[in-house]
Every structure is written in structure tokens, then in C-alpha cells.
Structure 1
Amino acid sequence: MSKPSNEIPNRKLELYDKLIACNPQIERKGKTTPYTSLNGHMFSFLSKEGVMGLRLSKDDREVFIQKFNGNLIEQHERTMKEYVEIPSDLLEKTEELSEYLQKSLNYVSELKPKPSKKKN
């Protein structure tokens, strides 16, 4: 019996990278689980199943969920309260989704920076 692949579907990874490339302020991080962060706060990620999560403010979350009939994302059997699950068809619409990525960046830029855990 073959074991399940831990690789993200190529098409989803390409779409995520294309979205991130739209904003020169944002750098993609993570080798096995791609994500973006600012000041120690993650604000987007792509799960190993190819599902994108995006962190939004309360108001933006409510609008997003209403507009796209969306949900909060679940990871490891836990609901991530500030993250919405990006529908697959919206991940294909880079220009439209880039507006929400910017809202996400704006939101985390207002949060207090987390202290670095890197050792010197």
C-alpha cells in the first residue's frame, strides 16, 4: 500500500506563488508549508492539501464569508478563528484575491510585533 503524498498539488502552489508575486512587499516563506508573515504574525498559508488560509480582520472576515459563502479554515482538527478558507475557484482569480491578500497584510501590520525567537 502506498503512503499518501505530502506534496502540495503543483497547480495550487503555482497559484499561491502567483498571488504572492503580485505584491513586492510580501515574501513567501516555508519549504514544506508555504506561508507569509509580517512581524512574526502569519497571515496566509497553503496547506499540504492545497487549501489556502488567509487571516483577516473581523469586519473583512464577515464580508468575505458572506460574499463567497465561505468558512473559517480548520487545520489539525482545530478552527483557526481569524483565518478564512479560500475557495478553489477564487484561488484561480489572482487579481480579485490579491485585494484580500492586501487586506490581510494591512491587518497584521496593525498588530503588535512578536519578539523574535531566533538565537544569535
Structure 2
Amino acid sequence: MAERDVVFPAGRQALYEKNRYSPAIRSNGFLFVSGQVGSRPDGSPEPDLEAQVRLAFDNLNAILSAASCTFDDVIDVTVVVVDPESKFDPIWKVAQEFWGAAPHPTLT
């Protein structure tokens, strides 16, 4: 059986335990990360879109850091956007700050 470790970012264990899911599981050299949203540390939503996207990437970065990974280690990203025509530009503005230089992850 494969070994599995739960990876928790600092200071958010209670939020994940309350909602009964793992932020990430490390298994056989891979890191499987749960979907990240632009929530504040208390779990409440951030109303400003750019700040929300930045929080989502900050949350993902905290999980990656807790697993001794960086955005350079990310292979695939799934993004769910409501009303992409009006929100695409602000999202990619922030995403590029985190993704850095090519090669970029695949994107769905």
C-alpha cells in the first residue's frame, strides 16, 4: 500500500478539520492538492476579485511550502471561473506573479 502524508499549511488546521478534508496528500513522490479558493484565514470569502485570486494563490503557496515544494513543481492547474470574459484579465495578472518563467503548468 502507498504511504500517504497529510500536508497542512501553518495556522489553518482547524479550518480543514472543521470542513473534514485534507488540504494536500503526499504519496509516492506526488503532492495532490485540494482546490484552493480566495478565502481569508477565518474561511470567509474575499469580495474583491484581485484580492480573492491573490489569496487563492497565497493559500496554494502555503500548502506547497508546507510540503517543501514551489510553483516550479506544479504540473497541472484546474481553474473554475464564473463569467470568464470579465474576470480573465485580473486572474491572469495575479497568476503570472506566482507562476514565473516557462515552462508553465498545464491548465484546464
TM-score (ref. length: structure 1): 0.28
Higher helix fraction: Structure 1 or Structure 2? Answer: 2
TM-score (ref. length: structure 2): 0.29
